[in-house]
Structure 1
Amino acid sequence: MRTKENEVKEVATQIKNQDLVKERRRQIVDAAVKLFIKHGYHKTTTRLLAKATGLSIGTMYDYISTKEDVLYLVCVAIHAEVEEGVKEALARPLKGKDALAEVIREYFLVCDRMSDHVLLMYQVTHFLSPKWQQKVLEAEIGITDLFISAMHQIKKTGTLPELEDDTISLIGHNISVIGHTWAFRRWYFAKHFTIEKYIEQQTDFIMSFLAKKKASVHN
């Protein structure tokens, strides 16, 4: 699985201080998301982006080379948030379905906090060159792999049903898509659900599938 460090290194920089690179790129990404949504990807110029970040154009180009870099870094930023949340969830003293529920919860909260980022990623990825489209898709799969790895880790404790690898993979993809659905349909969901209620009901849906698998194992 690709790491955050490898993903960030895909975008060239001459700056040696990696903490500064991370800080500046997050600053650029957050400003770009707002501008891309307000003006559209093509109408957002690098001059507008530099002004929004408070950086000179020359300084900004120390951290990115093109607008395509920014779109890729949007995906990287989402991945970093999800990875941190999943790690924190797995570090809690919980087992089995409770541990998985915490992983799901942390991911859905990231999708809520970064809903603009998630929506933008899907809206503009088709504008990228084939090279960058592939990298964004790989980073997206990397997010799903976090859930798959988490389930394998929990499974080792013996507190989840003996699920086949293909089933675990499918559940991982379902978790990823259901989280993103909050961003896609927030115009509707936000009128009828709090994020907490959404998490509760969607987690129950996923867990009901696990319960059926467990019952089939014992029968």
Structure 2
Amino acid sequence: MTENDVLSSVKNQALIEKRRNQMIKGAITLFKEKGFHRTTTREIAKESGFSIGTLYEYIRTKEDVLFLVCDSIYEQVRKRLDAKINLEKPTIDNLLNVIRSYFELMDEMQEEVVIMYQEVKSLKKETKEYVLQKERDMVGMLEHVIVTCLPDQLSKKDAELIANNIFIQGQMWGYRRWMLQKHFTLEEYIEKQIYYFKQSLSISI
């Protein structure tokens, strides 16, 4: 399943994108407050600024809205990482800039990330697999940067594990915020994680 598989009776693609973006913002606000299951489609329509009838011109089920939310989150992460990745002259600084940018994005999107991990279980099997594949793709982007910036220093298996570690460390800032954000500023957290990352690879600090 992809975003294009979410059925719409409207054919104007620009209007579909506009309405669905409104829907995603409205749904995120409500999911923060009430969770996916306790939120109704009527409430999503109202929060999005249009009628329930209009809502159903762009989606068929409430699960479609959750899918669009998850898909939007990963697309924002992909675009941010892609904009920061510069592999024409790969260096350790390139890699560290990507890691910093990813952590900063996870700070900006911490509410969305928490919602996604709480609610993705509500998706149907094939839809959930699509969302999980998006996550694999994001980890794959990090892995590619690591391998390119540290050529011949790591096995593919090690690079994959390190990429997963970085991915989870970024998300952890949001879903462990109840503890971490009492003890660290975002900058302190990023610098600590980068310090440990460099130490683990014996990179000169």
TM-score range, shorter chain: 0.7 to 0.9
1:97–1:160 CA contact under 8 A, matched in 2: no
Matching residue of 2:173: 182
Taking only the aligned residue pairs, the percentage that are identical comes to 37
Q: Does 1:208 align with 2:203?
A: no
* Correspondences of 1:118-129 after superposition (within 5 Å): 118-129=113-124
Matching residue of 2:129: 134
Where in structure 1 are there 5+ consecutive unaligned residues? 1-5, 215-219
How many residues are matched?
A: 204
Taking the aligned partners of 1:23 and 1:107, their CA distance within structure 2 comes to 26
Shift of 1:17: 4.2
Shift of 1:93: 8.0
Shift of 1:112: 0.9
2:26–2:48 CA contact under 8 A, matched in 1: yes
User: Which of residues 89, 98, 107 is equivalent to 2:102?
Assistant: 107
1:79–1:142 CA contact under 8 A, matched in 2: no
Helix, strand or coil for the counterpart of 2:201? helix
1:32–1:49 CA contact under 8 A, matched in 2: yes
* Correspondences of 1:191-202 after superposition (within 5 Å): 191-202=182-193
Shift of 1:133: 2.0
Deviation per residue, 1:177-203 (Å, 9 max, x gap)? 111101111122222212121111112
2:146–2:159 CA contact under 8 A, matched in 1: yes
Q: Does 1:24 align with 2:19?
A: yes
Q: Does 1:167 align with 2:162?
A: no
1:75–1:139 CA contact under 8 A, matched in 2: no
Q: Does 1:117 align with 2:112?
A: yes
Structure-2 change in CA distance of 1:20 and 1:101 (3 Å): farther
Helix, strand or coil for the counterpart of 1:55? coil
In the superposition, the TM-score normalised over structure 1's length comes to 0.82
Shift of 1:122: 1.0
Shift of 1:124: 1.4
Taking the aligned partners of 2:75 and 2:128, their CA distance within structure 1 comes to 19
Moved more, 160-169 or 107-116: 160-169
In the superposition, the TM-score normalised over structure 2's length comes to 0.88
1:75–1:140 CA contact under 8 A, matched in 2: no
2:86–2:94 CA contact under 8 A, matched in 1: no
Where in structure 2 are there 5+ consecutive unaligned residues? none
Give 1:195's aligned amino acid: L
